[in-house]
Structure 1
Amino acid sequence: MTTQPRYRHAAYGGQTRVLENDTLRVEVHRRTTGWGWAEIVAPDGTLLAVLDHLGELCLRDSPVPLRLEATEVTGTGPELVFDVRSAVVADALRDTSFASWIGSPFTGPALTGRVVLTLDPDGARLRLDYRLESQQDLYLRYLRGPWLRVGEGSFGAERDDAILPGVEWTAGHEWTSGTDWFRDPWAMRVTPHRNTVAVPVMAVSRGGTAVALSWEPDQDCTGWFSMPREHPQPVFAAPNLVERRDGSLLGLMLPEARDGSGDGWHADPPLELHRGQRIELTAVVSVVPGRSLDAVTDWVARHGLPEPPAPRWPIEETLHRIAEAVTTRLWHDGRGYGTAQTETDPFRSAPLFAAAYLERFPDGPHARRMREQLASLAPEPEPGTEALLTEGRELLGQQRPDGSFGFEPDGRHLVKDDFLVARDLVAPMGQAGDTALDLSMTPAIRLFELAERTGERAFADGARRALDACLSLYRPEGGDYWETPLHAPNLLAAGHAAVAYELGFRAFGDQRYRERTTHWLRSLLAFTHLWEPRGMPMAYNTKPCLCSSDWYFANWVRDHVQWEVLTTFALAVEHGIDLAAADPLIDWRRYQEGVTWAAVRWLLDHRDDTWRPHNLPDTLESYRQGRFDMCLPDTHNATTGLYGGMAIMPDIVAINLLDLLPKRG
């Protein structure tokens, strides 16, 4: 039966083949010139996306892009096979009015090969395999593989949200590559450097359905002799600003971006191909119930979390190395523990992991020295009950009638002046009175703590109102408000929310809170590297947020930060809650192990010379002397593999390592 296509930007040749199961229908159509393009249809008949072609190349020396098409289609069951060749301009213009004044230098196809479409019999997934070969020596502006126009011909650019993990998470009418959270030139992220992509899947959702495209990020797609290998380059635009069309774009292409400019959908200089050069590319289109985060979670559930990084040292040795650093290089007689990077740096009267370390290793190699140091300092006084009651009442006084907490950039949130400078120099990163997830979650956690310590029921009730006020929120925002746009996607907010809602579930037994724990935990996946390019270890590195600091001064799509994700699990340890119990779909214990050993991989060793300070250049000499060895660097650059920022006390790493130790019987 011939199905009349709904896509109006292809010349229908009157033939259609269908791949179909209970969850998805793929209608593959023939153009007047050959097979094909495909329409991806939901069981209810909604046109979800259009696969515009079986491949398209743009040559430096051709007047028009050339589609890959097939004269026949073969295959049985869930598989369709297309033996494709690229269009030949000279053939298309022969015997037309153009023949006398346009001369193409190519007399045969530039590329030939095979494209196979395979529908998973048991799921809403379509696999695309490209095996191509160059027939001539060519200069290629691009070669497009999967080119998915989501919403085209149906709901257009309307969407609930869109995610490219590690790069983008937009909601509603926000644009990917928009300037909501960045200023140019960092704003353009249509073709991001592949190292900045945290999970190789991109998705757009609308009305309870997410369309996703995933790929093998380290696949060697092509290469010639000693020339650089090419890997799949994601192209992500919602709305489709690349082609300026009414829809969203999920695509893969060659060549890959070599820098972070983000607008490289035409290669300059072009990619050099040679006769006989082979090109391979594999991808999967998935349709998942829910929103874009559900598509990311689906990918993780199907592929599993990667193996945690190999331990740099055995776990107990790592803890003793941290203890050695803390009790020697990071100890300052009469002042306490600290990095002492500036004259105003605070000192601690006890390392955050000291009590747990001394309990686990009472006779450890550094235990005696740590005890002596702790005894030499006046302990930080514990606030009395009245002080705790006063703190709780002040928090309740800041709470708004709906239960949320508002942004006070000139008041209680003025811990740094970054957003004041940004407001005056460029634009506000958040307006006074705005609210965001983390602005309510951090006081909720504190109110739960105060309720437990004072027995004051009103504090727990206030925390509950804060949780209820945020039940409808979906994207984590607000965690790094002191230097980033308030409503930008943020990992720290997700972590705080997971802990806050699990505390709420423990206190009140409300199943809605457990569901929100699960959601906010899964939000961490959008910020976490679950693959790594060969030769650059970065598995389980995390992005703090998908935005820039102060609009211009740090790019958090390019840079990783590890302390924030470790804080989530350290908070859970502090409160005696098991986050892994909230979500059996994902192995969160393995995740914690992964992010912790990734942090150990970061720990500084001046002999490696992999770190440079950012806003404290004078500390470079201290680093070279080894004073910061075993400290956690603030940032890791995903494109260079180098570390930077400040040197951070390694306490948070040790807390997680102690939690990962097997429990003693």
Structure 2
Amino acid sequence: MREVRLFAARVEPRNEGGEAELVFRGAVMTPKGARWPFVAKFGLRAGANFIETVVEVTPKTKEPLWALYGPLVCAGEGSFGSRKRSAVFPGLEFLTSEEVSSDDRGVGWGLHERWVPHPYKVTVPVMAVAGEGAVVGLMWDPLQKWDGVHQVPAARFASPNRPQRQANHYMALFVPSLLENFQENLGRAVKPWVAPVGATLRLCADIVAMGETDDVTRALELWVKRYGLPPSEAPRTWREELALCAQGIVQTGWDADEKGWVAAIGWRPGREAHLADRLLLAATLGEDKAILAEAQRQILEAGVSGGGVEMNLRYGNPMAAVDTLRQAAYGAMQGQHPEGFWTFSQTYSMEGEKATLAAPEDVELGTCVNRLAPIMAYALATGDPKAVEAGLRGLEYCTRFVKPAGAESWEVPLVCPNLRAAALAVECYLAAYQLTRQERYLDLARYWARAGLAFIYLWAAPDRPAMPGASISVMGTTFYTHPWFGAAVQWVGLAYADALQKLARWDESLPWRRVAELITVSAMHQQKTAGAPCGHVGFYPDSYDLVRGADYYEWCLSPLGIINNVLGLVGLPTTYQIETAVDEPLRVHLSTVAAVRELRADGARAAVTARLGYLPEMSANVVVFGVSAPESVRWEGRNVAAFEYWPSQTAMDDAREGWYFDRQRQCLALRLFWQASEGELVLHGVQPLPYKPPVLPTEIVNGGFEAGLDGWQVEPGGELDTHNPHSGQAALALACPDPAHEVQATSTPMRVEAG
């Protein structure tokens, strides 16, 4: 085996019509003395930030070829050297300035080398390094037929270039890359390959050369704009998919003995309101009457009549939905460092083997956004100044991170890049933008959305229908022993797709909705249907091996993430939607499970207008913070009267309408019935109402009535009276205006002194 370098005999320059090109021609002398002609072309178009390259070699004799490299990029040579701000090799590496590629940190010795990975482990065919205000890299079309027959060149990446002990960053493509006997990290064919005489070997790639930026994710954006997203055909219609998901939950997920549903095969059944809500909506839209009837029966048998955010915003008590958000937010605020962060030990268990995943005081993006997500959701829904301050302070701290990591460290080393951190960051910064309308927050949401692309397969191998949109969750391992390279964990990708659907309402820099659709369709291809060997119809695998084209192992998950994203793709919120509108002095926060197509505040006219889309002949709830009780409410052109009290549990098709102003929480709740798929809501005569912390029975200090009402739970209809002169701090006022129901107040056991 001998290495032969290409030296040109002549150069042909061309510069015309806004395009420049250099063509190098020469010949390679083979070990047998034959001359194989070669051509290397480098082209640059006006305004482009990449150089188009083509390397061609034409064998004239039957001689073995171990590897043809070209082009080869040594980023930083003569400039920033081995330094960098960040680097990315999608699917394999997402590096910060101090990290090196193929390191065992977070991976474990023996699994760490990924200089030359299997081509099916590369999620986006681009490699890039950012340093000193520039991004340099290499990108290519993986489906190019480099010999007229075979596809998918192999890639080699080293940042910095430790294998050759050079102060640069190495990026290159090579062939032959025959997949049937590909050996990782070898950098050449396993066996000598003999090309047909006269058949030209052709390698095409683009050298990325972006100035005035040190954002490595711009290379991912450039790849999408240059090559486009792959085609992907869904195996079912959206309606059929929702029917399959509902079937999966009622058949595969239901445990008749425990009267609950499993979120994953083998897990203990639960009665989560979120799952019941998703099931009911999927069964309704799936239009299979038998499945819908079974779903309703199971929900009744499980005793899930309310609770959770979505179910209470759909047909339960919307004020309770806000309470759920508040409880999650205030719980998440606990332990926040004055600078805005949370540590590993505050976010994850340190028991047993988990203590090896990071030091207790370590901080990553994921340890912060795990806590910030519920805080920002509540801040956006209510404008609570305490939540807003805690959330924005935490997000300001997170501006120091460039790598998405630390959001899956219940089993993954904290330093490993992971997709869930990017997904949560997108949602948090998008909420910050909606609250403040500061463009920098939207820029940061875009950054983390682009960072997430490094985990998503944006190309399609001909023999892998599930590949386009497949999402690896981690560039690393579980407990340093179980590698996740090339293994899709689609539930994490579906969470990222959910975030992208929200971002798509505000940003068109990339086709985010189409990426979300790719991810959803990939999950549909992975999903189990009738006849699947495991029998888990409607569920999908926890992990799918893209290299083998089969489940990584046998363990299936409930299709909740699929339902969420399909709902978004058919025009409904993936879960629930929170929108804000400002026209001084009005600052409006609106939450609902309907699709908020438009929200306007008119401070001069003391009015709020919203266009809301939902299911015809169905009802849903709306909660509005920031305004007083209205003088009048109109919906779909008709007047809506006030409720004397909020009605008890209703059904999705209950046509009762009305509004109720909750004095305890200082918010307006509405129940609306859609006669068409979209309606206009108008609130007249509203005044600005700054957020006031609610006084809830469970949040008063310990003791009896004189010291507070800790532990008391008040059913709808009961109110807390904090001004009763006959009580030291508070009294409990119970009202039951509807004789068909009762209002109860129960307390935790407490000792009462005589007298």
- The TM-score bracket by the shorter chain reads 0.7 to 0.9
Q: Which residue of 1 aligns with 2:508?
A: 584
Q: Which residue of 2 aligns with 1:632?
A: 540
Shift of 1:569: 4.3
Shift of 1:660: 1.0
2:82–2:167 CA contact under 8 A, matched in 1: yes
User: Could you say what secondary structure the match of 1:658 adopts?
Assistant: helix
Shift of 1:654: 1.2
Change (3 A) 1:153 1:412: closer
1:82-231 aligned within 5 A: 82-87=24-29, 106-109=32-35, 111-222=36-147, 229=150, 231=152
Task: Give the residue type in structure 2 aligned to 1:443.
Answer: R
Deviations 1:453-497 (A, max 9, x none): 777431232112111111232211111111111122111000001
User: Could you say what secondary structure the match of 2:519 adopts?
Assistant: helix
User: Could you say what secondary structure the match of 1:67 adopts?
Assistant: coil
Count residues with an aligned counterpart.
Answer: 551
Counterparts of 1:488 and 1:195, CA distance in 2? 20
Shift of 1:146: 0.5
Counterparts of 1:606 and 1:360, CA distance in 2? 21
1:631–1:650 CA contact under 8 A, matched in 2: yes
Shift of 1:642: 0.4
Q: Which residue of 2 aligns with 1:396?
A: 333
Counterparts of 1:386 and 1:652, CA distance in 2? 24
Q: Which residue of 2 aligns with 1:601?
A: 525
Counterparts of 1:324 and 1:273, CA distance in 2? 52
User: Could you say what secondary structure the match of 1:366 adopts?
Assistant: helix
Counterparts of 1:402 and 1:269, CA distance in 2? 57
User: Could you say what secondary structure the match of 1:484 adopts?
Assistant: coil
Counterparts of 1:506 and 1:433, CA distance in 2? 32
Task: Give the residue type in structure 2 aligned to 1:321.
Answer: L
User: Could you say what secondary structure the match of 2:5 adopts?
Assistant: strand
Shift of 1:596: 0.9
Shift of 1:179: 1.2
Shift of 1:649: 0.2
Task: Give the residue type in structure 1 aligned to 2:8.
Answer: A
User: Could you say what secondary structure the match of 2:453 adopts?
Assistant: helix
Q: Which residue of 2 aligns with 1:615?
A: none
Task: Give the residue type in structure 1 aligned to 2:187.
Answer: W
Deviations 1:420-469 (A, max 9, x none): 4265xxxx321101111121112212123445677743123211211111
Q: 2:12 aligns with which of 70, 74, 77?
A: 74
1:191–1:257 CA contact under 8 A, matched in 2: no
Change (3 A) 1:638 1:252: same
1:371-520 aligned within 5 A: 371-379=296-304, 382=307, 392-408=329-345, 413-414=348-349, 420-421=352-353, 423=355, 428-451=356-379, 456-520=384-448
The answer to whether structure 1 residue 659 and structure 2 residue 596 are counterparts is no
Q: Which residue of 2 aligns with 1:271?
A: 193
Q: Which residue of 1 aligns with 2:248?
A: 325
Counterparts of 1:389 and 1:188, CA distance in 2? 46
Counterparts of 2:366 and 2:521, CA distance in 1? 26
Change (3 A) 1:205 1:388: closer
Q: Which stretches in structure 1 are left out of the alignment for 5+ residues?
A: 1-59, 89-104, 610-622
1:194–1:234 CA contact under 8 A, matched in 2: yes
Q: Which stretches in structure 2 are left out of the alignment for 5+ residues?
A: 309-319, 572-612, 614-676, 679-755
Shift of 1:260: 7.4
2:73–2:137 CA contact under 8 A, matched in 1: no
Task: Give the residue type in structure 1 aligned to 2:33.
Answer: T
Counterparts of 2:405 and 2:48, CA distance in 1? 33
User: Could you say what secondary structure the match of 2:420 adopts?
Assistant: helix
Percent identity over the alignment is 24
Task: Give the residue type in structure 2 aligned to 1:648.
Answer: L
Q: Which residue of 2 aligns with 1:30?
A: none
Shift of 1:395: 3.1
Deviations 1:40-61 (A, max 9, x none): xxxxxxxxxxxxxxxxxxxx2x
User: Could you say what secondary structure the match of 1:268 adopts?
Assistant: coil
Task: Give the residue type in structure 1 aligned to 2:6.
Answer: L
Q: Which residue of 1 aligns with 2:260?
A: 336
Change (3 A) 1:535 1:242: same
Counterparts of 1:230 and 1:454, CA distance in 2? 54
Counterparts of 1:81 and 1:390, CA distance in 2? 66
Q: Which residue of 1 aligns with 2:239?
A: 316
Deviations 1:392-428 (A, max 9, x none): 54433310010111111xx6522x96xx4265xxxx3
User: Could you say what secondary structure the match of 1:483 adopts?
Assistant: coil
1:450–1:459 CA contact under 8 A, matched in 2: yes
Task: Decide which structure has the larger Cα Rg and report it.
Answer: 2
Q: Which residue of 1 aligns with 2:157?
A: 236
Q: 1:245 aligns with which of 153, 166, 172?
A: 166
Deviations 1:502-536 (A, max 9, x none): 11222233322111111111111111111021212
Task: Give the residue type in structure 1 aligned to 2:373.
Answer: I
Counterparts of 2:184 and 2:307, CA distance in 1? 51
Task: Give the residue type in structure 2 aligned to 1:545.
Answer: V
User: Could you say what secondary structure the match of 1:655 adopts?
Assistant: helix
Change (3 A) 1:138 1:352: farther
Higher relative contact order (CA 8 A, sep 6+): 1
Task: Give the residue type in structure 2 aligned to 1:238.
Answer: S
1:193–1:257 CA contact under 8 A, matched in 2: no
Counterparts of 1:264 and 1:66, CA distance in 2? 18
1:194–1:257 CA contact under 8 A, matched in 2: no
Counterparts of 1:493 and 1:381, CA distance in 2? 30
Task: Give the residue type in structure 2 aligned to 1:636.
Answer: Y
Counterparts of 1:391 and 1:281, CA distance in 2? 54
Counterparts of 1:114 and 1:571, CA distance in 2? 46
User: Could you say what secondary structure the match of 2:344 adopts?
Assistant: coil
Q: Which residue of 2 aligns with 1:285?
A: 207
Normalising by structure 2, we get a TM-score of 0.68
1:160–1:206 CA contact under 8 A, matched in 2: yes
Counterparts of 1:242 and 1:270, CA distance in 2? 23
The answer to whether structure 1 residue 642 and structure 2 residue 550 are counterparts is yes
Counterparts of 2:428 and 2:304, CA distance in 1? 29
Shift of 1:274: 4.6
Higher mean displacement: 443-452 or 580-589 = 443-452
1:130–1:282 CA contact under 8 A, matched in 2: yes
Q: Which residue of 2 aligns with 1:47?
A: none
User: Could you say what secondary structure the match of 1:404 adopts?
Assistant: coil
Change (3 A) 1:324 1:395: closer
Shift of 1:108: 2.7
Normalising by structure 1, we get a TM-score of 0.77
1:490–1:545 CA contact under 8 A, matched in 2: yes
1:485–1:550 CA contact under 8 A, matched in 2: yes
Higher mean displacement: 600-609 or 173-182 = 600-609
Counterparts of 1:221 and 1:388, CA distance in 2? 55
Higher mean displacement: 640-649 or 332-341 = 332-341
Change (3 A) 1:652 1:389: closer
2:264–2:556 CA contact under 8 A, matched in 1: no
Q: 1:254 aligns with which of 175, 187, 208?
A: 175
2:261–2:269 CA contact under 8 A, matched in 1: no
Shift of 1:127: 1.3
RMSD (Å), alpha carbons: 2.7
